[in-house]
Amino acid sequence: LAKTTQPISMDSYEGQEVNITCSHNNIATNDYITWYQQFPSQGPRFIIQGYKTKVTNEVASLFIPADRKSSTLSLPRVSLSDTAVYYCLVGSDTGRRALTFGSGTRLQVQP
């Protein structure tokens, strides 16, 4: 799986938009980009997945530039409940379905 690099931590305030960028310079042609969220004392939760350009769902947006060497998870108008660790993962759908988690980005939302 391609190695990913993301900030260790970020701080924000309620109501702000938060963008977390993940670098994956060695992404392969078949690789997808997936983001998970983990609250304290809970298992990770799937947020969004994409291959190129932009993907949006009810929780977040995922922006992927043309070269796909990075991606940005965008959380609109965060609230205190968005305080969590966010993981960026890269992998291909070539049979191995297992996830390899990095250290993630710890997002702290302040009132």
Partner 1 sequence: DAGVIQSPRHEVTEMGQEVTLRCKPISGHDYLFWYRQTMMRGLELLIYFNNNVPIDDSGMPEDRFSAKMPNASFSTLKIQPSEPRDSAVYFCASSLASLNSYEQYFGPGTRLTVT
* 61 lies in the binding site for partner 1 (CB under 8 A): no
Looking at 8-16, 18-26, 68-76, 94-102, which segment touches partner 1 (CB under 8 A)?
Answer: 94-102
Number of residues that bind partner 1 (CB under 8 A): 23
Burial 26-35 (b: 16+ CB within 10 A, else e): ebeeebebbb
* 46 lies in the binding site for partner 1 (CB under 8 A): yes
Tokens of residue 102, six digits: 């990095």
What span, in angstroms and rounded, lies between the C-alpha atoms of 44 and 14? 22
- Positions touching partner 1 (CB under 8 A) are 32, 34, 41-46, 49, 87, 89, 91-93, 96-104
